[in-house]
Amino acid sequence: SQQGEEDPQALSIQEGENATMNCSYKTSINNLQWYRQNSGRGLVHLILIRSNEREKHSGRLRVTLDTSKKSSSLLITASRAADTASYFCATVNSGNTPLVFGKGTRLSVIA
Amino acid sequence: IAGITQAPTSQILAAGRRMTLRCTQDMRHNAMYWYRQDLGLGLRLIHYSNTAGTTGKGEVPDGYSVSRANTDDFPLTLASAVPSQTSVYFCASSDQGANTGELFFGEGSRLTVL
C-alpha cells in the first residue's frame, strides 16, 4: 500500500497565484521527496527534505515537513502555466528501501 | 546525455505473449527500480535491485520477473501478458552511496495488452 497520500487530488489556479499541495504519510521516514511529472513524461526530482529539517527552499519552491503530524507541504509561489503537471511526494523509510510514492496532485495553472 | 533509456516507448501486445521491457542507465547507479503507473493508483513498485546480482520484490511483483546481470541493465519481463498489465512502466535508478534515495526516471514504456 502507498505510504504517501497527496491532497488535493487536483488543483486549478490562475497564473501568478500560489499553489499548495499536501502530503501525509504513515511511518517514520529518513527523508521525503517531491517529484514533478509532465504529461506523458517521466518523473523529475524537485526537492528533498530530511527528517531533521523543517523547511527547505529551492527557487519558487518551498517545502515544509512536520514529522509529529507525519505531513509535508509543497508551495509553488507565483505559479506559471509551465508549472502545470502532476506532483508526487515520496518517502524513504530507511537505508536502502525503495521510495514509496503517493497518488499525486494534478496541478493546472491557467494563463 | 547521461540518464536512463527505456525501450520500447510504446507497445501493443496480445494476451499470452511474452514481453521484455528494456532499461539501461549510464550513471553507474547501483540501485534500479521498475514502477507501473495507472490512473488513480499512482506509481507502484514492481521489482527493484539494490546492486548487480540481487533483486527484490516490490508491492505488485506477480506476473513480472527481473534480472540484474550487470550494473547498467535491468530488464523487466512479462512471461505471459494479461490485460491487467496494461500500464505505463517506468524504470528508475538511484545512487545509494549518496544515501538520499533520489530517483532518476526514464521516459516510460506504454504497454497495452489486448
Residues in chain B whose Cβ is within 8 Å of chain A: 4, 31, 33, 35, 40-45, 48, 50, 58-59, 90, 92, 96, 100-108
Q: From the list B4, B101, B106, which residue is nearest A99 (CB)?
A: B101
Contact in structure between A89 and A34 (CB atoms under 8 Å): yes
Cβ-defined contact of B101 to A101 (cutoff 8 Å): no
Give the rounded distance of the alpha carbon of A98 from its chain centre.
17
Over range B21-44, report the average pLDDT: 93
The dihedral sign for the CA sequence B39, A77, A93, B3? positive
A63-100 residue pLDDT tens? 999 999 999 999 999 999 999 999 999 988 765 577 88
Confidence of residue A102 (pLDDT cuts 50, 70, 90): confident
The dihedral sign for the CA sequence A63, A2, B32, A94? positive
pLDDT the model gives residue A1: 44
Q: A54 CB near a chain B CB, below 8 Å?
A: no
Q: From the list A41, A48, A96, which residue is nearest B96 (CB)?
A: A96
The shortest C-alpha distance from B111 to chain A (Å) reads: 13
Confidence of residue B25 (pLDDT cuts 50, 70, 90): very high
Cβ-defined contact of A30 to B48 (cutoff 8 Å): no
Q: What percent of chain A has pLDDT over 90?
A: 75
> In angstroms, rounded to a whole number, what is the distance separating the alpha carbons of residues B45 and A18?
32
Query: What 8-state DSSP symbol labels residue A97?
Result: P
Query: What 8-state DSSP symbol labels residue B1?
Result: -
Phi-psi region of B42 (alpha: psi -120 to 50; beta: other; left: phi over 0): left
Query: What 8-state DSSP symbol labels residue A98?
Result: P
Q: What percent of chain B has pLDDT over 70?
A: 95
* Residues sharing a CB contact under 8 Å with residue A9, sequence separation 6 or more, in sequence order: A103, A104, A105, A106
Q: Sort out which chain B residues have CB atoms less than 8 A from A104's CB and list them.
A: 42
> In angstroms, rounded to a whole number, what is the distance separating the alpha carbons of residues B18 and A31?
38
Q: Sort out which chain A residues have CB atoms less than 8 A from B96's CB and list them.
A: 96
Size of interface A-B (CB pairs under 8 A): 59
> In angstroms, rounded to a whole number, what is the distance separating the alpha carbons of residues A40 and B52?
29
> In angstroms, rounded to a whole number, what is the distance separating the alpha carbons of residues A70 and A26?
7
pLDDT the model gives residue B39: 86
Over range A50-55, report the average pLDDT: 94
> In angstroms, rounded to a whole number, what is the distance separating the alpha carbons of residues A44 and B95?
15
